[in-house]
Amino acid sequence: MTLAVIASYMALVLMVGVLSHRLFRGTGEDYFLATRSIGPFVLLMSLFGTQMTAFALLGASGQSYRTGIGVFGLMASSSAIVVPTVFFFVGTRAWAIGKRCGYTTQVEYIRDRWESDLLGLLLFIALVALLIPYLLIGVMGAGITLADISGGQVPTWVGGLVISLVVMTYVTYGGLRGTAWANTFQTLVFMTLGAVTFIYVANAMGGLGPAFERIAEARPDLLVREGNYSPVTYLSFLFIPLSAGMFPHLFMHWLTASKLHNFRITVVAYPLCIAVVWIPSVLLGVLGNIDFPELTVLESNAVMVRLIETHAPEFLAGLLGAGVFAAVMSSLDSQTLSLGTMFTKDIVLHYGYDQKMTDHQQVLVARIFVASILVVTYLLSLITRTSIFAMGTWSFTGFAGLFPIIVAALFWKRSTKLGAFASLLTVTALWTYYFIQGWGQPDYSVGGTGVMPVAVIVTASALAMLAGSLLSSPPCDATMRKFFSA
Amino acid sequence: MKAVAYGLLTLLYVLHTDVWYWDVSRMVLGFPIGFTYHVLGTIVITGTFWLVVRYTWPIELEAAEEHGVGTASNHLDCDLTSVESP
Check if B62 contacts A (Cβ < 8 Å): yes
CB contact (8 A) between residue B34 and residue A223: yes
What is the ipTM metric for this complex? 0.88
pLDDT one-digit tens code per residue, A344-361: 989 998 987 766 788 888
Domain A2-389 class? Answer: mainly alpha
Residue A474, Ramachandran bin (φ over 0: left; ψ between -120 and 50: alpha; else beta): beta
What is the Cα A72 distance to its own chain's centre?
Answer: 17
Collapsing DSSP states into helix, strand and coil, what is residue B28?
Answer: strand
Among the partner-chain residues B25, B45, B81, the one whose CB lies closest to the CB of A224 is: B25
Scan residues 25-44 of B and list those with Cβ closer than 8 Å to A.
Answer: 25, 27, 30-32, 34-35, 37-39, 41-43
Which sequence spans correspond to the domains of chain A? 2-389
Give the minimum alpha-carbon distance from B20 to chain A in angstroms, rounded to a whole number.
10
CB contact (8 A) between residue A275 and residue B39: yes
| Residues 6+ away with beta carbon under 8 Å from A131 | A247, A248, A249, A335, A338, A339, A395
pLDDT by residue for chain B (86 residues), tens digit each? Answer: 889 999 999 999 999 999 999 999 898 998 999 999 999 999 999 999 999 999 999 988 887 666 665 554 444 455 444 444 43
- The rounded distance, in Å, linking the Cα atoms of A48 and A134 is 16
CA angle (A407, A136, A17) in 5-degree steps: 85
Overall average pLDDT of the A225-254 stretch = 92
Among the partner-chain residues B32, B80, B81, the one whose CB lies closest to the CB of A223 is: B32
Residues of A whose CB is below 8 A from B35:
69, 72-73, 282-283
pLDDT one-digit tens code per residue, A364-423: 888 898 899 889 989 988 887 666 666 777 889 999 999 999 999 999 999 999 999 999
Residues of A whose CB is below 8 A from B22:
224-226, 231
If residue B63 lies in a helix (H) or strand (E), which one and from where to where?
none
| Residues 6+ away with beta carbon under 8 Å from A471 | A418
Overall average pLDDT of the A92-97 stretch = 94
CA angle (A4, A7, A11) in 5-degree steps: 135
Overall average pLDDT of the A54-74 stretch = 86
CB contact (8 A) between residue B34 and residue A73: yes
Amino acid at B84: E
User: What is the DSSP track for A231-290?
Assistant: HHHHHHHTTGGGGGGT-HHHHHHHHTBSSGGGHHHHHHHHHHHHHHHHHHHHHHHHHHHH
Asked whether residue B83 is assigned to any structural domain, the reply reads: no
If residue B10 lies in a helix (H) or strand (E), which one and from where to where?
helix B2-15
- The rounded distance, in Å, linking the Cα atoms of A475 and A453 is 32
Range in A52-56, A302-306, A409-413 with the lowest mean pLDDT: A52-56
Residue A86 or A323, more confident: A86
Q: Across the A/B interface, how many CB contacts are shorter than 8 Å?
A: 179
CB contact (8 A) between residue A212 and residue B19: no
CB contact (8 A) between residue B76 and residue A89: no
Overall average pLDDT of the A462-486 stretch = 88
Domain, as residue range, for B37: 2-77
Residues of A whose CB is below 8 A from B2:
none
Helix, strand, coil percentages (3-state) for chain A, rounded to 5, are 80, 0, 20
Give the minimum alpha-carbon distance from B52 to chain A in angstroms, rounded to a whole number.
9
- The rounded distance, in Å, linking the Cα atoms of A330 and B81 is 37
Q: Please, which residues bridge with residue B32 across strands?
A: B27
Overall average pLDDT of the A461-474 stretch = 96
How many Cα atoms are found within 13 Å in the side-chain-facing hemisphere of A93?
21
CB contact (8 A) between residue A73 and residue B16: yes
C-alpha dihedral sign at A131, A16, A44, A34: positive
Under 8 Å between Cβ of B76 and B30? no
Q: How many CB atoms lie within 10 A of CB A449?
A: 11
Domain count, chain B: 1
Q: How many CB atoms lie within 10 A of CB A4?
A: 11
- The rounded distance, in Å, linking the Cα atoms of A263 and A270 is 10
Question: pLDDT above 90 covers what percent of chain A?
Answer: 42
What DSSP designation does B59 have? G
- The rounded distance, in Å, linking the Cα atoms of B5 and A128 is 37
pLDDT (0 to 100) of residue B85: 40
Check if A29 contacts B (Cβ < 8 Å): yes
pLDDT one-digit tens code per residue, A221-230: 999 999 888 9
Among the partner-chain residues A70, A72, A88, the one whose CB lies closest to the CB of B52 is: A88
